Amino acid sequence: MSRYAWMFHRYRQEKIPTPAREQRLLESLASLFPDGTGSRLLLRHLPVPGRAAESRVIAQAIAVPAKLGKPPPRNLLQSWKPMMLAISAAALLLAVLLARFPAGDPASVVTHLGAEESGSLMLDHVSLQFENGIGELSGTAEAPSIYWTQGRLRVDVDPHQGVELSIHTREADITVLGTRFTVERSSLETRVDVERGKVQVNCAGGSSWALSRGQSIACLPTSVSRLLYRADILREKNAPPQVILVTIDLGLEKASEGDLAWCNLQLLKMLTLADLGRRAEAQELALDYLRQGFQRRRLEVLRFARGFADEWCPLALEYRQTLSGPGATAQDILSVSDCMKESDPEGARQFLSHALQSTLPDKERTFVEQKYMELAVEGASRSRPD
């Protein structure tokens, strides 16, 4: 529980708050919301209110600027009647919820969970511990519901107590009756690890898993962009190639052929297949990509294909315009001239001359100029009579 949420919780529990605690709460609200909207924060964070909740909320909205010796903000004065109506409506809604769920139940309105480092929250027969986590708690005592956005959440549900907890992330829906497990949500996946009992996990991609003690599952993203991002990050972290390949194939199933994400995934698949030692498959995938005439990522695919010596020179000559065009390096350009110089040395020299007319960084240009001078000298030597 964040520092502010904890203060609100303690403030609600006290029938007559101490002056020091009340002052700290007011100062916190004013520093967070200098425009006078602290009442909205109260409504978001307070658990199900007690009998004096309505008067406290209204009094707090008025008292925040007054007790700090500051005049109420102009926009607060101008919109006082609408704000009172909103507060009254909110209080009425809370009163209705309170009638449905007796005092002592966990929040039947949304309670925000979050901690920069770590925090915990105790409900009836449910213990929550979170690290660097962000989420929202709603539902009832018998059926609490958590939408978990980020971080690690450890859950302990007492068995046989009639509590049916559900946890939702962007990638998964998790339901439990009595168990201890951990949910970890990141930009790459939602991972569930079960320590005790059983957990039902329904991944957003359509798969469903019944996990028991010691088992775990990772639910992956469902959008092409996030699958591509996951594959990129896994490669940066040197994850096992088999894991990366699963992500790539899921992305390719969803991507439209020829669009940028699809082309990026194809290039990643070539690199990953090569990492797995499946070089023949990687080579065929690269050649097929080039045969189909895709423009995007063509230069990078050609660089990958350069590793296959038997196939390179025919490709280099066919795609010499790409290899000397925008984004090309000295290595790209020289790989073409090396293929040309044996059969057509004059053509190789002209190719380098044309490449030097393009925009190249100084360091890259130096290498190309040196190669050009070498070919020019060799040409002059060949043309000199014995």
Instruction: Look at strands 208-211 and 190-203 and give their pairing.
Output: antiparallel
- Report how far apart, in Å, the C-alpha atoms of 51 and of each of 9, 13, 91, 98, 103 are: 15, 11, 11, 9, 9
Q: Output Rg (C-alpha) for the chain, integer angstroms.
A: 32
Mean pLDDT (the chain, rounded): 77
Q: Token match 């050009």: residue? A: 372
Same domain, residue pair 185 and 207: yes
State both tokens at 97. Answer: 């919820």
Same domain, residue pair 327 and 299: no
**CA 353 to centroid of chain Cα atoms:** 47
Highest mean pLDDT among 49-53, 158-162, 260-264: 260-264
pLDDT at 362: 84
Name the DSSP class of 358.
Answer: S
Kindly give, in sequence order, each residue whose CB lies less than 8 Å from that of residue 190, ignoring residues fewer than 6 positions away.
148, 169, 170, 171, 172, 183, 184, 218, 219
Asked if pLDDT for residue 4 goes beyond 70, the answer is no
pLDDT at 309: 62
- The CATH code of the domain that includes 212 is 2.60.120.1440
Instruction: Look at strands 144-157 and 165-168 and give their pairing.
Output: parallel
Asked if pLDDT for residue 299 goes beyond 90, the answer is yes
Q: Residues 188, 233: contact at Cβ < 8 Å?
A: yes
Other residues' Cβ atoms within 10 Å of the Cβ of residue 302: 22
Kindly give, in sequence order, each residue whose CB lies less than 8 Å from that of residue 219, ignoring residues fewer than 6 positions away.
169, 171, 172, 189, 190, 191, 192, 201, 203, 204, 205, 207
- Categorize the per-residue pLDDT at 20 as very low, low, confident or very high, splitting at 50, 70 and 90: low
What is the count of structural domains for the chain? Answer: 4
pLDDT at 73: 43
d(CA 162, CA 116): 32
pLDDT at 58: 44
Q: Residues 88, 53: contact at Cβ < 8 Å?
A: no
- Within-domain flag for 247: yes
For residues 305 and 13, the model is more confident at: 305
- Of 52-66, 265-279, 291-305, 313-327, where does mean pLDDT reach its minimum? 52-66
* 88-139 confidence digits (pLDDT tens): 444 443 443 333 344 444 344 455 665 555 777 888 888 888 887 888 888 8
- Within-domain flag for 180: yes
- Report how far apart, in Å, the C-alpha atoms of 177 and of each of 5, 118, 139, 190 are: 27, 25, 15, 20
Same domain, residue pair 20 and 118: no
Other residues' Cβ atoms within 10 Å of the Cβ of residue 332: 22
* 29-72 confidence digits (pLDDT tens): 565 555 554 444 444 444 444 444 444 444 444 444 433 444 44
- Within-domain flag for 64: yes
Same domain, residue pair 235 and 202: no
Same domain, residue pair 336 and 275: no
pLDDT at 86: 45
Same domain, residue pair 205 and 289: no
Same domain, residue pair 212 and 244: no
pLDDT at 129: 85
- Report how far apart, in Å, the C-alpha atoms of 8 and of each of 1, 44, 88, 171 are: 11, 10, 19, 32
d(CA 328, CA 308): 19
Same domain, residue pair 215 and 280: no
- Categorize the per-residue pLDDT at 3 as very low, low, confident or very high, splitting at 50, 70 and 90: very low
For residues 215 and 132, the model is more confident at: 215
Other residues' Cβ atoms within 10 Å of the Cβ of residue 189: 20
Percentage of the chain exceeding pLDDT 70: 67
pLDDT at 310: 67
Same domain, residue pair 82 and 58: yes
- Within-domain flag for 262: yes
- Of 306-310, 313-317, 359-363, where does mean pLDDT reach its minimum? 306-310
Instruction: Kindly report the backbone phi and psi dihedral angles of residue 99, in degrees, each rounded to the nearest multiple of 5, phi listed first.
Output: -65, -35
* 249 closest CA partner among 226, 234, 236, 265: 265
Q: Which 3 state secondary structure label does DSSP give 194?
A: strand
pLDDT at 121: 80
Same domain, residue pair 124 and 50: no
> Could you tell me the residue range of the domain that residue 259 belongs to?
223-305
Same domain, residue pair 227 and 209: no
* 166 closest CA partner among 149, 180, 146: 146
Instruction: Look at strands 190-203 and 172-185 and give their pairing.
Output: antiparallel
d(CA 159, CA 127): 12
Percentage of the chain exceeding pLDDT 90: 41
Q: Residues 343, 309: contact at Cβ < 8 Å?
A: no
Same domain, residue pair 8 and 74: yes
- Within-domain flag for 105: no
Q: Residues 342, 316: contact at Cβ < 8 Å?
A: no
